Structure 1
């Protein structure tokens, strides 16, 4: 077990303020730390762009604990995978595939930890696909006394416990629903004139299992990536041609229409190489799909201020769920994700105006990315937030797992 201090997030723009980071190599070591320390909080693979994973006291990094993958069939004929919460998706996906199964979705970056992705509502894309949190069948977590308890997603408080921002305990193992393995292809289409895309946004994003679009808020959507389980795709999409294919390399997964395993097509980045620590910061907002065109038009009015700081904006869709703190709770959503240049001060200054443009569309920010919204604005977006606060008080009465983010943004 190693202790370190002065940890930074993935982009080097957030410094964790905890006393130290502990990296246990066994579940027993993790339990002993929780039982011993008055303040402790879970830390994933540090891919958040705010302080959601920071807290006073000790941060607990579980990535050194073995995956211990267990695949089982449930009595109703479905299959599940139980594994360590610190496991990265890319480290375990091929083994799940080899056993004949698959996850329903993956994020664009497969190097994030499963526990961290679930806790923050991280998602891939797909109009009919829920976020990564929706695959959870149950969680094993350490309570304030260091004892393990199991919460099922169908339990009374299950919908409030899956996406928990680390405020209910330290999740050590996760059981995920699986489906039979499948192959996919990935193709690029474009460009799309701005108005053509807006008029057909829902149709375009329903063209494959997982669809992602890219823009810099100029006159066009430069490219649309369609990830499909079918071996046959059209040569055009709403009048835009299929672009020449590119094979996979160390920078991105194959876009040449070749069929490949789900774990090598759903992410944008290959699992065998880790992208360089990003010269970037990120923000992302979720609006109901019915507001997609109006929200994009509203943001385009800020194009002259957005473009100097922008690498690219990625547009995705995610299906609705009933998780209390999910940005997709209650509505199928259109996700507007900004990958900004590493200009955190300038982006922070721009966000209040950007979020004011999105406010009429009930835009919810991603929990792990930059936002200027205060506790009152957040509370207005989450009708189940009072129930979550009550759940936190019951699960952690002495505030062992409290964080500054939770106190400031959620008033937990």
Structure 2
């Protein structure tokens, strides 16, 4: 196979072969005949959790048309479809998803499997919209599950360990409009109020002070605009990019101009480079109730963070009941870091960040860079052993396992 890398270029896949089936039957035959196999989506993972020394399979060759069920208010989605393409398709038919991640370039199955999220005090991560799954199991069988299955809440955020997901069923809502306002220089003491002030809110900081450099407020279009003196901030009078120096044309429209949900909830526009592109990313999910204390702890290592961070983002996500979701059983604050693309410089700082956050039971984002030991992570999930048992039951020979998964879920 030719060399394949992830989106950021920091992971070169070790797979012996790269497969692109054109039908479900071809995929089933491929899975049944392989000893090691993993699916790869849009490649927006920054670690080796999805890598394999066996076969790496893309589902981009399978039929890609969604199917809307208006009576049930769900949409059946091919796994490889990108959220941006799905969102456009839904909006044209008068429907929406409850939330989107900061970039629309990611595949639906990959984002769901890793617990990827947007922001909003009352909105769950993207996986909470999943009402059903179709996947190819280790034997090559096609398994369909929904919310009536007792294992369903363990199968949604699965890290790709249970099989190759081919289709997902997602809840939809009527389409809606959003206005996006950027505010500057938020005082730390106003952070809680800011995060709860709109449908979706992100606060960016550079860790050079305790103030938020930018607040991205994504509010429903029929809500009043923030007052001029909102929480002691200044209104942006031009578009901004979260990463200083990057082109603002890459970002979704701001300055309060109303627009459809899928063109405002993400930070970045489909068809343009999201974030910087030349970067590493880490993210930790903390109980919402300890947010203030956790940020004070990070202030102690801010002098280490600032030189290697391009930006850092704070978001909130509602609790859910998905066993391996970073928001399992707790409302959460996500602390995200966009690092420079230099692992040698970043990893020692990452160790200090994890040390500072250790008292607050952090959970890492499954698709980003982290160094936390398995035992520390597992201790924050009450259903960890249940998930490990589910993996061993559905994949007894470890067909979907990787070196990283073996470290997380020893057999």
**Is TM more than 0.5 here?**
yes
CA distance in 1, matches of 2:240, 2:7: 27
Q: Which residue of 2 aligns with 1:215?
A: 205
Q: Which residue of 1 aligns with 2:239?
A: 246
Q: SS where residue 272 of structure 1 aligns?
A: coil
Equivalent runs, 1:13-412 vs 2, <5 Å: 13-74=10-71, 78-193=72-187, 197=188, 199-219=189-209, 220-231=211-222, 232-235=224-227, 236-246=229-239, 250-275=249-274, 278-412=277-411
* 3-state SS in 2 of match to 1:202: helix
Distance 1:292 1:378, change over 3 A: same
Aligned-partner SS, 2:379: helix
TM-score, normalised via structure 1 length: 0.94
Say whether the 8 Å CA contact 2:268–2:275 is kept in structure 1.
no
Aligned-residue offset at 1:332: 0.6
Partner of 2:169, secondary structure, is strand
Change beyond 3 A, Cα 1:369–1:247: closer
Q: Residues of 2 paired with 1:100 and 1:279: CA distance?
A: 36
- Relative to 1, partners in 2 of residues 1:246 and 1:304: Cα closer, same or farther, differing over 3 Å? closer
8 Å Cα contact 2:207/2:303 also seen in 1: no
Note the residue ranges of structure 1 that are not aligned, 5 or more in a row: none
SS in 2 for 1:186: strand
TM-score, normalised with respect to structure 2 = 0.94
> Bigger shift: 137-146 or 17-26?
17-26
Shift of residue 89, structure 1, vs aligned partner = 0.6
Q: Structure 2 regions of 5+ residues with no counterpart? A: 242-247
Shift of 1:247: 9.3
Q: Bigger CA drift: 235-244 or 83-92?
A: 235-244
Give 1:277 shift: 7.4
Distance in 2 between residues matched to 1:24 and 1:266, nearest whole Å: 33
Q: What count of residue pairs does the alignment treat as equivalent?
A: 402
Q: Runs of 4+ in structure 1 displaced over 6 angstroms?
A: none
User: Is the CA contact 1:187–1:245 (under 8 Å) kept in the aligned structure 2?
Assistant: no
Whole-angstrom distance in 2 between the partners of 1:360 and 1:306: 19
The answer to whether the Cα contact below 8 Å between 2:182 and 2:240 also exists between their aligned partners in 1 is: no
Root-mean-square deviation (Å) = 1.6
Give the C-alpha shift of residue 275 in structure 1. 3.9
Q: Distance in 2 between matches of 1:361 and 1:292?
A: 9
